[in-house]
Chains A and B, each alone.
Chain A
Amino acid sequence: MVRSWWQNKPVPGRWLAVILIGGAFLLTDASSYVGGLTDAYLRPPVGAEAQALGNTNITSPAYMMSMINPAASSELSMGSGRISFGGGMRALGRADGNLSMDFRVLSRLGLGVAILYRGDPSITIMDAQEEKVGEAAYTTVTSKVSLSYPISRHLAVGAGLGMYYQNVPASDDPYGFSEEDGPVEYSYAFSIGGIDLGLRYQWRKDITFAAVVQNLLARNDWQFKRYDLGDLQQTSSSAYPVALMLASTVQRELQGRPFIWHASLKSYLLNELSFEGYDRLQRVSALLSNGFEWRYWDNITLRAALSDIPLDTDIFTDFQTYSDNFSAGLGFGAAIDLVKVHPGLSVDYALSLNKILAGVEQQINIVYSFQSTKRSLR
């Protein structure tokens, strides 16, 4: 078999790591101040595994691969795949639901499909007269389809296409002087076309790197009424910020049992500012996350994470502000093999503290794997 030049020359992994992590700062003019951007509902970890690991399972996600790393399904062997479904209950009444299917469809092609619901199903609406108008719900549905291709034994790439839907309560009475409190109206946004690009590089058997760009060219195409202009139907488009994630996974042993350390660095390349299209964020920053897995028992994997630690220029220029605004995520979880119930069946559970201490966030996923995979911990 003829091998390409890049397949004959191993990629210098340590240099790749330096470039990727250094690139997080060099490439991004990004900010940890992402609060209020379009993708707020997409930022939390997708699935129980991701939540328990603080969004660091980017090199080898067990499921929801299209949402996390479109290159990941290359890990599956021919004829094998995983199906998962799950949901979450979050503090302040927010809710999650997800479904994913990941397969190896051709000898070298992986396919992933994932659907994610997120929203807030119970919002009490008060009008400007301090009257309760009724209940409303905020609903988002995101779906991604991805293909992955292993270029070599070490390197795989993938690409995904996203569909984005949001349904937001709207005010038919922006000034609060309505003649009538009718049923709550809604505006919605729907678009297809956001692109995810993923790369997974297994430098050594026990060390893997990944890089993912999410929501490239993704937009929100809003349909809404201008109630102040006589219910004029209008459309507008706004962009999702593009997220860049760099990650590594190192496998070791702890007390003779498998132990994995995941690390990721996430930053945002672009910000979308109202109606003016793309603009760059004001500050250089990124979020550093660490996740740990320890298979202390044969059928139970324990997980913990310290995530979303902001790395921004305040560290050097205004440490007081940095420390005042410092926040980080703390999560725990476990994966339990249910082989005795059914071969290939497992359940993931995650529990993490809400970032503003408004409660806890929980997610659970049921995973069914058919045929074995290369994943060492599963």
Chain B
Amino acid sequence: MHKYLTCVLSTAIALVALSLPANAVDGEITREITSNEILELAARGDTLWMVTANGLNYTLGDNQPLQWWGYKTNIYDEFHWDVDSGVIHFGIAIGSELALVPKALPENNEPNGIWTYDHATDNIRSIDLPWNREKFSESLRDSVSLNTRDIVWTPEAFWTATENAGIVRLEPEDIRGGIPSPSVAYPGIDSVFAFDNFPPPAFDSLFTPSKKVVRIGATFDTAGNTTLYAVTAPRVYTFSVQNDAWDTLGTTLSSSNDSIERFIEVFARRRNSRDQILAICQIESKPKLCIYDTTTASWTRLISNTVHDMSFGDSDTVYAVTQAGEIEAFAIGTKDKLPISEDFAQRLNQADPNIQVPAVEDVAFERIDSSTAYMWIATTDGLYFSTDPREDEREKQPLTREHRAPALESGLQRTYFYPTILAPYQTNQRGYFAYNLSESADVTIAVYDWNMDHVKTIIENEPREKGSDRRDGRSTIKLEDHWDGNDRHGKPVAPGVYYYKISSNKGERAFGKIVVAK
């Protein structure tokens, strides 16, 4: 008897233990897009990383359909969110599938460190750089900010922009497993210091708060020439990795009566042995995209609209993402606007005519070879991409939409309405019913109020396919079965909780909840 009791108790304890989280990490490894709100892209070859509102994702473009790996977490708690440009930056290494993201800025003055995701091992690591404040002089010890703001990858290393301590070099191998042994380069000091030797004795005399590095860019070529571009508010510093030498770019704005109030972000690439340098500059209190002319050492405004992000395109093309969520394209050489903007909206719409054209957050173009090129477009409602290698965007085929559509168990075992909180009083918003039939059937969806009084029949005996044959595992496509918060007479219902019933003529049925907000 005692033996059986022990066995039962052990089983019960084991079941309880199994039901507990496996570890204490906030996020979880996932094999789907973590959110359809995609904030930032980074592409190298056919590898694409993206930061979404709910985590980090990774895919290889040579898998069709795309397969996703990722880490789901509250990005605003985990990653650094920059208040200026509202974007998150990270670096990746070709072939190693390793992403680095600055961790969220802590409330105290402690360094934030770096967060890494290694796809090869699905390993999530938090790295704190071994800063030692005691090495700074007393006047700087408490005030110096050692937060990591941005990360860029070059073939040699990862480079992080550290607010008051210049650029930190991190070796990928160290980051992957070992104890990092970084080195530091500070604007104006033509040397690279081992961490133990930083800051150097002359640091106090060279230190100024305005040298707060907030963004970093890099160019490199096959000959081993690497240049880093460190953005501070008043100017952009350059650092030659081979020569350990610092310089600055000019700060004047040509062909305009305006001036650059501050630099926000820099984008650079090497093409035909020359660096193409663009920056988002604040002009007239608005972020504008400027291009740098090395011969005149001055900047030229490239686009009149305010800019949110940009990416280099094929050959001479630059894609700018405006703050209105649209894409505009320019030729770097002539600085002419290319007539493709309308086509992008059209192509986004063609990719999925059932949804409204979403706002573009970021764009990335990557040419693999003469027959393969990827155009990745991050939007507020999914990722769009094309593999059409032609340069002229007007001629390209419609884009393909990739989005997160969590598979729903068949047989209406799980249904939901999203957004659960409808705000029709404020936005004329409507929400959608997500469900998955186990077999194709005629479906009726009706909405009821708290007293189960009938409010509206959404669809009545409409044929719907079983979801298991569809890629996203649902029987309705977005916008197909929706409710706008009006009753059967077209009048808005009162704020409160409403209940829906989905039933099929094959006997399946499910219920769910909808909140109508004031």
Q: Interface centre among B76, B455, B497, by most A CB within 10 Å?
A: B497
Give A126 to B54 CA distance when docked, in angstroms: 13
Is B471 in contact with chain A by the CB < 8 A criterion?
Answer: no
| Chain B positions within 8 Å of A119 at CB level | 497
Q: Interface centre among A40, A129, A325, by most B CB within 10 Å?
A: A129
| Chain B positions within 8 Å of A355 at CB level | 448, 451-453
Are A130 and B36 in contact, CB atoms less than 8 angstroms apart? yes
Is B421 in contact with chain A by the CB < 8 A criterion?
Answer: yes
Chain A residue nearest in CB terms to B487: A36
Chain B residue nearest in CB terms to A222: B518
With A126-B416, A130-B418, A136-B515 as contacts: A166 and B35 at CB distance below 8 Å: no
Residue among B418, B422, B448, B491 making CB contact with A356, cutoff 8 Å:
B448
Are A175 and B421 in contact, CB atoms less than 8 angstroms apart? no
With A94-B450, A129-B53, A228-B426 as contacts: A36 and B494 at CB distance below 8 Å: yes
Is A320 in contact with chain B by the CB < 8 A criterion?
Answer: no
Q: How many whole Å from A290's CB to the nearest CB in chain B?
A: 19
Are B501 and A228 in contact, CB atoms less than 8 angstroms apart? no
Give A37 to B404 CA distance when docked, in angstroms: 35
Chain A residue nearest in CB terms to B416: A126
B window 197-223: CB within 8 A of A? none
Is B298 in contact with chain A by the CB < 8 A criterion?
Answer: no
Is A80 in contact with chain B by the CB < 8 A criterion?
Answer: no
Are B496 and A126 in contact, CB atoms less than 8 angstroms apart? no
Is A165 in contact with chain B by the CB < 8 A criterion?
Answer: no
Residue among A34, A166, A176, A224 making CB contact with B496, cutoff 8 Å:
A166
Q: How many whole Å from B76's CB to the nearest CB in chain A?
A: 5
| Chain A positions within 8 Å of B450 at CB level | 40-41, 43-44, 94, 118, 120
Contact pattern, A 183-203, Cβ under 8 Å of B = 1, otherwise 0: 010010100000000000000
| Chain A positions within 8 Å of B359 at CB level | 177
Is B517 in contact with chain A by the CB < 8 A criterion?
Answer: yes
A window 161-213: CB within 8 A of B? 166, 168-171, 173-181, 184, 187, 189
Q: How many whole Å from B60's CB to the nearest CB in chain A?
A: 24
| Chain A positions within 8 Å of B431 at CB level | 128
Is B434 in contact with chain A by the CB < 8 A criterion?
Answer: yes
Chain A residue nearest in CB terms to B460: A324
Contact pattern, A 220-259, Cβ under 8 Å of B = 1, otherwise 0: 1010101110000000101000000000000000000000
Give A169 to B501 CA distance when docked, in angstroms: 21
| Chain B positions within 8 Å of A92 at CB level | 499, 511, 513
| Chain A positions within 8 Å of B493 at CB level | 35-37
Contact pattern, A 319-333, Cβ under 8 Å of B = 1, otherwise 0: 000000101000000
Residue among B36, B419, B492 making CB contact with A171, cutoff 8 Å:
B419
Is B31 in contact with chain A by the CB < 8 A criterion?
Answer: no
Q: How many whole Å from A129's CB to the nearest CB in chain B?
A: 5
Are A166 and B76 in contact, CB atoms less than 8 angstroms apart? no
Are A128 and B501 in contact, CB atoms less than 8 angstroms apart? no
Chain B residue nearest in CB terms to A287: B453
| Chain A positions within 8 Å of B494 at CB level | 36-38, 40, 220, 238, 272
Residue among B35, B427, B491 making CB contact with A174, cutoff 8 Å:
B427
| Chain A positions within 8 Å of B427 at CB level | 174-175, 228
Are A358 and B501 in contact, CB atoms less than 8 angstroms apart? yes
With A187-B495, A274-B492 as contacts: A354 and B429 at CB distance below 8 Å: no
Are A187 and B517 in contact, CB atoms less than 8 angstroms apart? yes
Is A318 in contact with chain B by the CB < 8 A criterion?
Answer: no
Is B343 in contact with chain A by the CB < 8 A criterion?
Answer: no
Give A168 to B449 CA distance when docked, in angstroms: 14
Is A123 in contact with chain B by the CB < 8 A criterion?
Answer: yes
Is A282 in contact with chain B by the CB < 8 A criterion?
Answer: yes
Is B86 in contact with chain A by the CB < 8 A criterion?
Answer: yes
Give A126 to B414 CA distance when docked, in angstroms: 13
Give A175 to B501 CA distance when docked, in angstroms: 24
Q: How many whole Å from A54's CB to the nearest CB in chain B?
A: 13
Give A228 to B489 CA distance when docked, in angstroms: 26
| Chain B positions within 8 Å of A25 at CB level | none
B window 322-378: CB within 8 A of A? 359
Chain A residue nearest in CB terms to B418: A126
Are B451 and A41 in contact, CB atoms less than 8 angstroms apart? yes
Query: What's the A-B contact tally at a CB cutoff of 8 Å?
Result: 184
Is A127 in contact with chain B by the CB < 8 A criterion?
Answer: yes
Is A125 in contact with chain B by the CB < 8 A criterion?
Answer: yes
> Is the interface on chain A under 10, 10 to 19, 20 to 34, or 35 or more residues?
35 or more
Total residues of chain B contacting the partner, CB 8 A: 58
With A36-B449, A177-B380, A282-B489 as contacts: A120 and B418 at CB distance below 8 Å: no
With A41-B451, A44-B451, A130-B418 as contacts: A168 and B404 at CB distance below 8 Å: no
| Chain B positions within 8 Å of A129 at CB level | 35-37, 53-54, 381, 404, 418
Is B459 in contact with chain A by the CB < 8 A criterion?
Answer: no
Are B496 and A40 in contact, CB atoms less than 8 angstroms apart? yes
Chain A residue nearest in CB terms to B424: A174
Is A377 in contact with chain B by the CB < 8 A criterion?
Answer: no
| Chain B positions within 8 Å of A226 at CB level | 426
With A33-B454, A166-B496 as contacts: A126 and B417 at CB distance below 8 Å: yes
Are A168 and B496 in contact, CB atoms less than 8 angstroms apart? yes
Are B453 and A43 in contact, CB atoms less than 8 angstroms apart? yes
Chain B residue nearest in CB terms to A37: B494
Give A45 to B56 CA distance when docked, in angstroms: 50
Chain B residue nearest in CB terms to A34: B453
With A168-B496, A356-B501 as contacts: A35 and B449 at CB distance below 8 Å: yes
| Chain A positions within 8 Å of B497 at CB level | 119-120, 123, 138, 168
Q: How many whole Å from A1's CB to the nearest CB in chain B?
A: 47
Are B420 and A170 in contact, CB atoms less than 8 angstroms apart? no
| Chain A positions within 8 Å of B380 at CB level | 177
Chain A residue nearest in CB terms to B497: A138
Are B515 and A123 in contact, CB atoms less than 8 angstroms apart? yes
Chain B residue nearest in CB terms to A238: B494
Is A124 in contact with chain B by the CB < 8 A criterion?
Answer: yes
Are A227 and B426 in contact, CB atoms less than 8 angstroms apart? yes
| Chain A positions within 8 Å of B448 at CB level | 35, 355-356
Are A327 and B54 in contact, CB atoms less than 8 angstroms apart? no
Are A169 and B429 in contact, CB atoms less than 8 angstroms apart? no
With A120-B513, A171-B517 as contacts: A130 and B434 at CB distance below 8 Å: yes
| Chain B positions within 8 Å of A94 at CB level | 450
| Chain A positions within 8 Å of B496 at CB level | 38, 40-41, 138, 166, 168
Is B406 in contact with chain A by the CB < 8 A criterion?
Answer: yes
| Chain A positions within 8 Å of B456 at CB level | 35-36
Give A272 to B404 CA distance when docked, in angstroms: 40
Is A309 in contact with chain B by the CB < 8 A criterion?
Answer: no
Contact pattern, A 94-114, Cβ under 8 Å of B = 1, otherwise 0: 100000000000000000000
With A92-B513, A327-B454 as contacts: A171 and B417 at CB distance below 8 Å: no
Q: How many whole Å from B94's CB to the nearest CB in chain A?
A: 30
Are B449 and A40 in contact, CB atoms less than 8 angstroms apart? yes
| Chain B positions within 8 Å of A93 at CB level | 513
Given contacts A35-B453, A133-B420, 17 further A-B contacts (CB under 8 A): A33-B488, A33-B489, A34-B453, A35-B451, A43-B450, A124-B416, A126-B417, A127-B420, A130-B416, A138-B515, A174-B429, A176-B429, A177-B37, A179-B53, A187-B495, A189-B495, A236-B518
Binding site for A on B (CB under 8 A): 35-37, 53-54, 74, 76, 81, 86, 359, 380-381, 404-406, 416-423, 426-427, 429, 431, 434, 446-456, 487-489, 491-499, 501, 511, 513, 515-518
What are 30 sample pairs from A and B whose C-beta atoms fall under 8 A apart?
A35-B447, A38-B496, A41-B451, A118-B450, A120-B513, A123-B513, A123-B515, A126-B420, A127-B419, A127-B420, A129-B35, A130-B416, A131-B53, A138-B496, A168-B517, A169-B515, A169-B517, A170-B518, A171-B421, A176-B429, A177-B380, A178-B37, A180-B76, A228-B426, A327-B454, A355-B453, A356-B446, A358-B499, A358-B501, A358-B511
Binding site for B on A (CB under 8 A): 33-38, 40-41, 43-44, 92-94, 118-120, 123-131, 133, 136, 138, 166, 168-171, 173-181, 184, 187, 189, 220, 222, 224, 226-228, 236, 238, 272-274, 282, 325, 327, 354-356, 358
